[in-house]
């Protein structure tokens, strides 16, 4: 039984595909067929980016800046946490 290799698409590719549907007026089926992706996958991308755009439009410039700062801080804190987890596991496995 052969395994199907999944293709990975960049965020930029997804955004451009969604723009073809939303801004250029092409149908979802046309864009999906042209790009070689499944129609439902393109619909999922469209929903995802529509929600993100709606969220961004509801925020003021100050709130967007704070959101970006908080996301960066959250990313940094997650990395620190992961490093501490690995260090704890390393020192716990060390035998005196």
Q: pLDDT digit string (tens) for 51-77? A: 776 666 777 889 889 989 999 999 999
Mean pLDDT, all residues of the chain: 87
Total structural domains within the chain:
2
Report pLDDT for 64: 82
1 part of a folded domain: no
Per-residue pLDDT, averaged over 12-17, amounts to 90
Residue 93: give the domain boundaries: 60-96
Same domain, 50 and 21: yes
**Looking at the predicted structure, is the pLDDT value of residue 5 above 80?**
no
- Residue 21 sits in the same domain as residue 52: yes
Residue 77, in any domain of the structure: yes
Please tell me what DSSP assigns to residue 3.
P
Q: Which residues of 10-33 are buried (b: 16+ CB within 10 A; e: fewer)?
A: eeeebeebbebbeeeeeebeebbe
How far apart CA 54 and CA 22 sit, in angstroms, is 14
Same domain? For 53 and 70 the reply is no
The three-class DSSP label of residue 24 is: coil
Condensed to tens digits (0 to 9), the pLDDT of residues 27-41 reads 999 999 999 999 999
pLDDT of residue 70: 95
């Amino acid at each position: 039984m052969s395994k199907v290799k999944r293709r990975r698409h960049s965020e930029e590719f997804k955004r451009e595909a969604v723009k073809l549907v939303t801004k250029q007026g092409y149908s979802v089926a046309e864009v999906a067929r042209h790009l070689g992706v499944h129609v439902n996958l393109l619909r999922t991308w469209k929903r995802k980016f529509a929600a993100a755009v709606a969220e961004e439009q509801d925020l003021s410039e100050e709130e967007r800046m704070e959101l970006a700062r908080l996301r960066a801080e959250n990313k940094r804190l997650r990395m620190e946490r992961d490093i501490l987890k690995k260090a704890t596991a390393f020192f716990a496995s060390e035998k005196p």
